[in-house]
Structure 1
Amino acid sequence: MEAKIGISTENRQAVSEQLAKLLADEYVLYTKTRNAHWNVEGIDFLAKHKFFEEQYNQLDEFIDSVAERIRKIGHYAPATLKNFLALTHLTEYSERHNDSLGYIKDLLADHEAIIEFIRGNINPIANDYGDAGTSDFITGLMETHEEMAWFLRAHLK
């Protein structure tokens, strides 16, 4: 049954496509943060192991909320690794040592890429597609990514 929520079919499709890209980015970043949690080594292992766990738990919530937002506007969320890799703006993996600074730099770059992607979609989703709800939703995600990026960036000083 079609969602009759005051947004045209075409506009809901356009918003859904942007949310699918965001979902893919969130999933790839989640996986990379899990990797950091599992494989970090060094003198700061325990602190960074716990830090990365906190971050991937937040990302897990983002994944669910983005997928549910896609469903709320009447579309299906992509849910395969193949789809995520085709849709993401991020790279799946980069070569590095398993030290915390390498992981932090990589994860920070991904958060910043997601922040830029979201920021570029806030006004178009609200103004061009008439979906203030999704615009507000992604604004909140962006703000949390900004905080997570700040935490990562603080480790690099």
Structure 2
Amino acid sequence: MDIDIGITRKDRKKITEGLSRLLADSYTLYLMTHNFHWNVTGPMFNTLHLMFETQYTELALAVDLIAERIRALGEPAPGTYGAFASLTRIKEPEGVPAADDMIRLLVKGQEAVVKTARELMPVVDKAGDEPTADLLTQRMQVHEKTAWMLRSLLAA
């Protein structure tokens, strides 16, 4: 059945392509954060272990919202490691980094998700897609705040 929500098929396609990149970035960041939760060591272990758990739990919920928005706009959501690897801008580290490096990598990952969301906003605005704009705004707020909190751990 055709979708008739006031957004052209062409615009929906552009939006879902951007949302697919956002989904890939978010899932990659989820996986990295969960990995760091399992493998962090050092004097800040308890703080980071709990903080990373809060962050990956939030990301697990977020990826579902993003994928469901892609589906609501009429496209299939990517859902494989291969698809995510080809769409994400986040580079995963080799091995297990030191705790401070984990924090730095997560800051970069959080900021990468913000950039992906922000790049999509003009397309969404032009199409008049307020629900996606709302989703993007919420994601940017969460990731900017999380990046700030992580950066604060590195302050001298």
1:35-46 alignment to 2 at 5 Å? 35-46=35-46
Aligned to 2:79, the other structure's residue is in SS state coil
The answer to whether the 8 A contact 1:11-1:130 is kept is no
| RMSD value, Cα | 1.3
How far has the Cα of 1:121 moved from its partner? Answer: 1.7
How far has the Cα of 1:123 moved from its partner? Answer: 2.3
Q: Which amino acid aligns with 1:23?
A: L
Corresponding position of 1:8: 8
Aligned mates of 1:7, 1:98 — CA distance in 2: 45
How far has the Cα of 1:132 moved from its partner? Answer: 2.2
Aligned mates of 2:150, 2:121 — CA distance in 1: 24
1:78-89 alignment to 2 at 5 Å? 78-89=78-89
Q: Percent identity?
A: 39
Corresponding position of 1:134: 132
Corresponding position of 1:148: 146
1:6-155 alignment to 2 at 5 Å? 6-91=6-91, 93-95=92-94, 98-127=97-126, 129-155=127-153
TM-score, normalisation: structure 2: 0.93
Q: Which amino acid aligns with 1:61?
A: L
Assess, with a 3 A threshold, how the Cα gap between structure 1 residues 144 and 88 changes in structure 2: closer, same or farther: same
How far has the Cα of 1:16 moved from its partner? Answer: 0.6
How far has the Cα of 1:71 moved from its partner? Answer: 1.0
Listed as ranges, the gaps of 5+ residues in structure 1 are none
Aligned mates of 1:122, 1:77 — CA distance in 2: 19
TM-score, normalisation: structure 1: 0.93
Q: Which amino acid aligns with 1:9?
A: R
The answer to whether the 8 A contact 2:118-2:140 is kept is yes
Aligned mates of 2:95, 2:111 — CA distance in 1: 19
Listed as ranges, the gaps of 5+ residues in structure 2 are none
The answer to whether the 8 A contact 1:126-1:134 is kept is no
